[in-house]
Amino acid sequence: MYQIDPSRTDLAREFRDNPDGPYSAELKLVINRLRIMPMAERHVLICVERGRKWMLARIPAERGSAVERFEDRVFSDYKEAIWEVFRRRWQTVTGQELEV
């Protein structure tokens, strides 16, 4: 499995600056790694208002349990919302917080 180098914050900046792509080959590897992480405790977005508002949430560790909703993390900018998910997944996978 591809291992993300946490020092490659240039790849995180590339995603932040252009979340819709196209992505470099290296960033594609990072994104794919973040997408295939285990479902348990994965950060996701919940659509609160179609095309207008999204809320950060986390899939529970135990199947069948309620999704943890972060009521204080509601976004009206979709790109800002997916950047937050990217940051949180990066931290989960690498163990390091993104500060870019």
pLDDT in tens, 57-93: 999 999 899 999 999 999 999 999 999 999 999 999 9
- Say what the pLDDT of residue 40 is: 87
Question: What is the per-residue pLDDT across 28-47, written as a single tens digit (0 to 9) for each?
Answer: 999 999 999 888 889 999 99
Look up the pTM and report it.
0.93
What is the Cα–Cα distance from 81 to 25, expressed in whole angstroms?
A: 23
How big is the CA angle at 73 (ends 12 and 30), to the nearest 5 degrees?
A: 20
Please say whether the beta carbons of 81 and 75 come within 8 A: yes
pLDDT above 90: residue 100: no
CA pair distance 91, 1, nearest whole angstrom: 17
pLDDT at 78: 97
Q: What does the longest C-alpha to C-alpha distance in the chain come to? A: 38
